[in-house]
């Protein structure tokens, strides 16, 4: 049994540690780590451009890549995860460029792991594009991407605004590269033909991906054949118009050193695109973007890696929620919220406006600056934190920001009642069958976790089922339809069913759904049933498998345990024995610095393809859960009166 004194000591220790990470201007930002692919691509980019070798930096990246190599010899997508072909090919290639000998034991193990699984022919489309740019495979190994796509009308079956923002921004500069087919400088002349079981230049297109239907795939493969034959005969003036359109799209969204889309892949493609167009390293859009890529580096004493992006708005807003729950840090919390206020996008209508032309902007982006691409998840979390500070501490000056955020989110609801991360009604699922989409992440449809977050925000602000709010009613109906039979909900942006169920139970509570509702009872029973014997909760990334089998057991983690506890407490289960065991697990695993260790990846970029380790998650989610537990146990109502 956890005594109140032990609980309070744990909360205070974690609070002090968290406050120690606050930046001088009031915000928080923690490292955001992916797998080996982003640091590998950073190395490949430098060698593609023929930049001067930074031997110190490359040595540090090399040490990082060697450390995260799996016991199977290749590289995984998550900590201690299974072999992944594309990650392994990129990790191996990067180490070759850095200077590792093919005969080094770790390189022999990697090569044998790759070849024993059929060789590098089995890597994905994005990896094949990189290999084509280096001349390792021919352009026959990648799908045809005619740059003339830029000129298609919206009514066409394919249009840039029918795919997700991350795909859109990555694709535009890639279209130009595919048209020009430049060759990497690669001063060392490094190749990786040893990873193939056949002549790399003999390989053709990728096989059908598991998520792709045979009929659609054959249709698009046939179209690819037609385009491959006809593209060379497209008029040169038409091609130049299309390249000009791609440049105009890019330069409108260049976004300073934060970069187009503020994520690594489009930024790297932009630098290569300008290089292919003959723009030197001093050309302003190229220079800005190239400097922005270096800002994504995390450089330590011994190791270095490159982040896919940064997460200051997300980190700051979640820390503020945590500190509001923990108490005794009002001034620091207000500094964080005041830092968030000017980052609201009020004067620029981003790409989302194509489907919602009459909605005023009012969202927040995930990164420091990304005004064309605010997202609903960040916006809802920021609005709730501002409202909570206003409500609990009488903070002034937040009303206008809250009102505009709510207005934007209400205007971005999709027709099925759900909310997506960045767009509206992005339901063109047939596009995931095109050869380019072997990753299956071309779209941004509504999801349970983001829908729940928007419901949490509306409910916290008084818009509940009882008030007759149509958006809330539609959102609840969406969540009723999407609950799995065992009681869980899918988590698109966190791993996976634990995250989704936490999000949904918070949203349903805020929206006024009675805790005795069968869907809530089923979710509570499910969460209690998957608790680990040590009292914590964990879930493996394999739970995203296409042949759905539900939650997959994994060692307990602090962040997933925090989500499960917050979920149970949101629906009146503060006295549940599982909650007491979870609290004991968190206290027992807290270190002397007041923090928790978490090597496992608990967040999701793209299911089955790309996962994330938020270094902040283990610092604030456990504290949030412990403080919530303390606060509920000190009252008789056991009611969570906020959206998260």
Report the chain's C-alpha Rg in angstroms: 25
Which residues partner with 75 through β-bridges?
Answer: 84
Q: What DSSP string describes 513-544?
A: --TTSHHHHHHHHHHHHT--TTS-B---GGGG
For residues 350 and 33, what is the distance between their CA atoms, to the nearest angstrom? 27
> Sheet containing 32-33: which strands, arranged edge to edge?
32-33, 610-614, 603-606
Q: How far apart are CA 588 and CA 512, in angstroms?
A: 34
Q: Is 246 exposed, middle or buried (0-12, 13-18, 19+ CB in 10 A)?
A: buried
Chain position carrying tokens 């990697």: 110
Distance CA 170, CA 188 (A): 27
Q: Which helix (H) or strand (E) holds 611?
A: strand 610-614
The residues near 20 (Cβ < 8 Å, ≥ 6 apart) are none
489: left (phi over 0), alpha (psi -120 to 50) or beta: beta
Question: Known catalytic residue: 399?
Answer: no
* Catalytic residue (one of 224, 258, 377, 438): 377
Tokens 């596009």 belong to which residue?
431
CA–CA gap between residue 613 and residue 600 (Å, rounded): 7
Stretch (H or E) spanning 604: strand 603-606
Burial class (CB in 10 A: 0-12, 13-18, 19+), 466: exposed
Q: What are phi and psi of 351, to 5 degrees?
A: -60, -25
Q: Which residues are catalytic?
A: 377
């Amino acid at each position: 049994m956890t005594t109140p004194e032990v609980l309070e000591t744990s909360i205070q220790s974690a609070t002090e540690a968290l406050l120690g990470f606050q930046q001088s201007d009031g915000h928080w930002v923690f490292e955001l780590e992916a797998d080996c692919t982003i640091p590998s691509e950073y190395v490949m980019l430098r060698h593609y451009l023929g930049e001067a070798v930074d031997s110190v930096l490359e040595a540090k990246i090399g040490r990082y890549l060697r450390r995260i190599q799996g016991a199977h010899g290749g590289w995984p997508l998550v900590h201690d995860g299974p072999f992944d072909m594309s990650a392994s090919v990129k990790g191996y290639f990067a180490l070759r460029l850095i200077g590792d000998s093919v005969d080094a034991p770790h390189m022999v193990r990697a090569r044998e792991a790759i070849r024993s699984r059929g060789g590098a022919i089995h890597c994905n489309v994005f990896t094949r594009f990189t290999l084509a740019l280096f001349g390792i495979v021919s352009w026959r190994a990648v799908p045809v991407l005619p740059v003339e796509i830029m000129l298609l009308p919206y009514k066409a079956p394919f249009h840039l605004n029918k795919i997700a923002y991350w795909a859109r921004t990555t694709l535009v500069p890639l279209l130009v590269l595919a048209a020009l087919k430049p060759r990497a400088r690669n001063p060392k002349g490094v190749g990786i033909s040893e990873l193939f079981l056949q002549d790399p230049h003999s390989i053709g297109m990728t096989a059908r991906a598991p998520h792709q239907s045979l009929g659609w795939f054959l249709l698009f493969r046939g179209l690819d054949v037609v385009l491959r034959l006809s593209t060379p005969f497209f008029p040169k003036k038409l091609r130049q118009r299309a390249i000009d359109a791609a440049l105009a799209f890019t330069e409108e969204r260049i976004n300073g050193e934060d970069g187009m889309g503020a994520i690594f892949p489009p930024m790297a493609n932009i630098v290569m695109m300008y290089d292919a167009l003959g723009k030197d390293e001093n050309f302003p859009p190229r220079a800005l973007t190239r400097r922005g890529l270096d800002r994504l580096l995390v450089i330590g004493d011994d190791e270095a890696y490159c982040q896919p992006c940064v997460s200051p708005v997300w980190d700051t807003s979640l820390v503020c929620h945590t500190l509001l729950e923990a108490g005794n840090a009002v001034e620091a919390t207000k500094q964080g919220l005041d830092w968030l206020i000017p980052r609201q996008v009020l004067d620029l209508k981003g790409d989302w406006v194509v489907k919602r032309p009459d909605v005023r902007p009012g969202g927040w982006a995930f990164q420091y600056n990304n005004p064309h691409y605010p997202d609903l998840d960040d916006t809802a979390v920021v609005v709730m934190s501002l409202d909570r500070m206003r409500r609990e501490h009488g903070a002034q000056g937040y009303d206008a920001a809250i009102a505009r955020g709510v207005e934007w989110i209400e205007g971005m609801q999709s027709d099925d009642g759900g909310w997506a991360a960045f767009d509206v009604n992005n339901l063109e699922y047939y596009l995931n069958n095109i050869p380019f989409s072997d990753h299956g992440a071309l779209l941004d449809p509504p999801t349970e976790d983001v829908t729940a977050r928007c419901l949490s925000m509306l409910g916290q602000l008084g818009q509940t089922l009882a008030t007759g709010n149509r958006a809330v009613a539609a959102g609840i109906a969406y969540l009723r339809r999407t609950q799995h039979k065992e009681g869980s909900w899918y988590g698109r942006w966190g791993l996976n069913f634990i995250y989704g169920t936490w999000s949904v139970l918070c949203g349903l509570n805020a929206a006024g759904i009675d805790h005795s509702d069968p869907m809530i009872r089923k979710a509570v029973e499910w969460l209690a049933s998957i608790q680990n014997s040590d009292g914590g909760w964990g879930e493996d990334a394999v739970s995203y498998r296409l042949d759905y089998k539900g939650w997959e057991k994994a060692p307990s983690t602090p962040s997933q345990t925090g989500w499960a506890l917050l979920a149970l407490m949101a629906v009146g289960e503060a006295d549940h024995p599982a909650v007491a065991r979870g609290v004991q697990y968190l206290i027992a695993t807290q270190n002397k610095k007041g923090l928790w260790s978490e090597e496992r990846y608990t967040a999701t970029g793209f299911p089955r393809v790309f996962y994330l380790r938020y270094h902040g998650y283990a610092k604030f989610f456990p504290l949030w859960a412990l403080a919530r537990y303390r606060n509920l146990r000190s009252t008789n109502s056991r009611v969570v009166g906020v959206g998260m």
